[in-house]
Amino acid sequence: MKFSLLVFCILLCISCSTAQNKSSVRSETKNTDSSLVYQGEKIIKTDLEWRSILSEESYHILREKGTEYPYTSSLLKNKRKGIYYCAACELPLFYSESKFESGCGWPSYFEPVHARNVTEIEDRTHGMIRTEIQCSKCGGHLGHVFDDGPPPTGLRYCINGDALKFKERQN
């Protein structure tokens, strides 16, 4: 059962990524509050410290580069206005306004809060070449980015919901 679900997840990732992201540098997001932009202070913790602050699922994704099963994230259908933060270090990652329904089974966004808040790394696992997205502040694995998203960026940041915390805007 677990093997067939893993195969399903891999095939779903392949089918969702119609084009591979070739760019390693993104333009900086416009109109971003400077207090939400990563300033270069890295967080370093031991595995024991990460385990003490993260759920088992979040630890597996963020620290062991795991993934959640598609269509299981409580954030997948979230339509509230706010900001999605890294579940490990609370760096702001995505505005709710950049979220869209991609149909791939994971929360998807067309741009981060700021290009500095995410780090792109070539990922050659599972027989594919993809671009992994990590939190710039703590190095936690978030998901992947693909070139098949909507305008204005054409990007799809396919992110594990258990790697995120959502804070609703208080207006």
Could you give the residue numbers annotated as active site?
158
What contacts 101, CB < 8 A, 6 or more positions away? Answer: 108
Q: What is the DSSP letter of 74?
A: T
Pairwise CA distance, residues 94 & 16, whole Å:
20
Q: What is the signed CA dihedral for 49, 132, 38, 47, rounded to 10 degrees?
A: 10
Pairwise CA distance, residues 98 & 82, whole Å:
10
